Structure 1
Amino acid sequence: METTLASVRRAVFRFAETGAALSARYHRARLVGAEHLPSKGALLLVGNHGVWGYETPAFFHLLHNATGRYPLGLAERGFFKIPLVRTVLPWLGGVEGTPENALRSLSDGQLVVCYPGGARETFKRSQGRYRLRWERALGFVRLAMKAGVPVVPFAGFGVDDTFFWPPAEDRLCWQLAQEEKYRMPLVMGLGPLPLPVQLTFAVGEPQEPPPSGASESRLNAFRDHVAACVRRLLLRACHA
């Protein structure tokens, strides 16, 4: 049984790798600023999420090509309440985004990707395009502070243009869970495919986190600083 499960897991991973490579090719995906990504050592990448989180496989593919490392993604905890998703996500590098899991991953020297906007950015409406939803997000700041690792901001441009929202978008939603943030919009592409827009990911310079025991106001200031970095990187990616 264990051998069979391991074989299935490897097959799913290979299939996902192929899909990620095809997605990167389809969208002519580019990575700008790869020099800020070390080939080893713990690192916390923090940036914006695209609609449906569709861009993530292409982004992870580029990260792997640039560093030789398989990134780990801190996934929204609510997704792990969905039976099939909670089984497959870990096979593909998705980690339930608890403080314990995140800290353990960084302690193991992993390249960890965090989207502070979570489901609010993934399931955005049209008016939320390229808008960061980090209003109360301090988890990544506390994580970086506790782990003593730098935060590397990144931005994805094109990630909110791979689909378009049809008229009456507010009514065309699937409710995945009780909370409003899990109200998944029905977006459309080019027939069965997403729109063939180019995806550009820009990576910025590492930012040292606040020291241990920093005040709440200092944590808020650091979060706002990283968010400002991401917004500047969006402009860079847009014109790259």
Structure 2
Amino acid sequence: MNGEGIIETSGWGGRVGGNERSGWDPKFIEQVGKWVRPAVRTWFRAEVRGIERIPAGGPVLLVANHSGGMITPDGLVFAPAFYGHFGYDRPLHSLAHYGVVMGPLSLVMNRLGIIEASPDNAAAALDDGAVVLVFPGGDYDAYRPTTAANVIDFNGRTGYVKTAIRAGVPIVPLVSIGAQETQLFLTRGHRLAKLLRLTKFRLEIVPVSVGLPFGLSVFFPPNLPLPSKIVMEVLDPIDIVAQFGDDPDIDEVDAHVRVTMQRSLDRLAARRRFPVLG
């Protein structure tokens, strides 16, 4: 579950996990990509369009919607396309919840360029000249109900705008469709989380979904994703200062980003004939 949005639910607090960026290992990423790329192309029939719209050099903040629940395929689809286009000497860092980058898999995640989501980590990666991929909606977005599968909703989180302004980098929107069809998402489970008093542990949702092979899942066990066709599209860069002036309004920039992404997602949805099949 990637995304600064998860950290922002607690005020963009979280832990700053040291210099995780130093673990980025392009040779390891290239090796992993050799089996990830054909796998996602086969299983998800994945397409990434408009990759050339990402500025050819310098730091960039990629802002994407997040889909697919616990086993979200967003990064698996996008990263191989990014490195295939720009090569393995340009770092791509994805921001993730600290639960993803801690424990026995932490070293593997760091080598893949996945770092803990926090404003300091994002700013440091951008200062290093990296491309940073952020999912402002976090788990709130990834577990949106199937009835709202094609809705851009960051749950009011605007930290990504502040990060881009502070770093002086363009925002490049990235939209994805198809991953929310990998299972049937019934509810985020806000009421259930409150009933179980999990909110005091910063667990705001207990998502309920239906899929294969376990059927009904109340957060656990996670079902395996159906082979839904996934399409991701990179949109034109947004130069915040050029479009909104030297003292931009955070909410105005956020609204513009979301509207731009929603229009693109609506267009992709209109071309989609059937769920899963695409």
Match of 2:211 among 180, 188, 192: 188
Runs of at least 4 residues off by over 6 Å: 9-13
Residue 211 of structure 2: SS of its match in structure 1?
Answer: coil
Structure 2: stretches of 5+ with no match in the other structure: 1-22, 215-222, 273-278
Residue 220 of structure 1: SS of its match in structure 2?
Answer: helix
Whole-Å Cα distance in 1 between the matches of residues 108 and 208 of structure 2? 22
Q: CA deviation at 1:86?
A: 4.0
**What do you get for the CA RMSD once the two structures are aligned?**
3.5
**Aligned positions of 1:107-146 closer than 5 A:** 107-146=127-166
Matched, 1:214 2:237: no
Q: CA deviation at 1:132?
A: 2.9
Q: Which residue of 2 aligns with 1:151?
A: 171
CA contact (8 A) 1:99 1:143 kept: yes
Match of 2:39 among 16, 22, 32: 22
CA offset digits 1:134-175 (Å, max 9, x no partner): 233121111110111100011001121122247x995999x8
CA contact (8 A) 1:123 1:181 kept: no
Structure 1: stretches of 5+ with no match in the other structure: 1-5
Q: CA deviation at 1:111?
A: 1.3
Whole-Å Cα distance in 1 between the matches of residues 228 and 138 of structure 2? 23
Q: Which residue of 1 aligns with 2:13?
A: none
Residue 194 of structure 1: SS of its match in structure 2?
Answer: coil
CA contact (8 A) 1:16 1:92 kept: no
Q: CA deviation at 1:177?
A: 9.0
Whole-Å Cα distance in 1 between the matches of residues 107 and 239 of structure 2? 34
AA aligned opposite 1:230: M
Matched, 1:73 2:106: no
Range 181-190 or range 20-29, more displaced: 181-190
Distance 1:24 1:11, change over 3 A: same
Whole-Å Cα distance in 2 between the matches of residues 172 and 15 of structure 1? 38
CA offset digits 1:75-124 (Å, max 9, x no partner): 124544x5235444222221111111101111111111110001211233
Whole-Å Cα distance in 1 between the matches of residues 84 and 199 of structure 2? 33
Residue 172 of structure 2: SS of its match in structure 1?
Answer: strand
Q: CA deviation at 1:39?
A: 3.3
Q: Which residue of 2 aligns with 1:3?
A: none
CA offset digits 1:28-77 (Å, max 9, x no partner): 11122222123321111101001222232112112222222452101124
Q: CA deviation at 1:213?
A: 7.2
Q: Which residue of 2 aligns with 1:235?
A: 266
Distance 1:85 1:132, change over 3 A: farther
Q: CA deviation at 1:178?
A: 2.8
Q: CA deviation at 1:219?
A: 0.5
Distance 1:208 1:83, change over 3 A: same
Identity rate, percent: 25
Whole-Å Cα distance in 2 between the matches of residues 84 and 212 of structure 1? 45
Q: Which residue of 1 aligns with 2:14?
A: none
Q: Which residue of 2 aligns with 1:201?
A: 232
Whole-Å Cα distance in 1 between the matches of residues 73 and 141 of structure 2? 12
CA contact (8 A) 1:158 1:197 kept: yes
CA contact (8 A) 1:162 1:196 kept: yes
- TM-score (normalizing by structure 1): 0.79
Range 44-53 or range 147-156, more displaced: 44-53
- TM-score (normalizing by structure 2): 0.69
Distance 1:20 1:123, change over 3 A: farther
AA aligned opposite 1:198: K
Whole-Å Cα distance in 1 between the matches of residues 188 and 257 of structure 2? 31
AA aligned opposite 1:89: M
Matched, 1:51 2:74: no
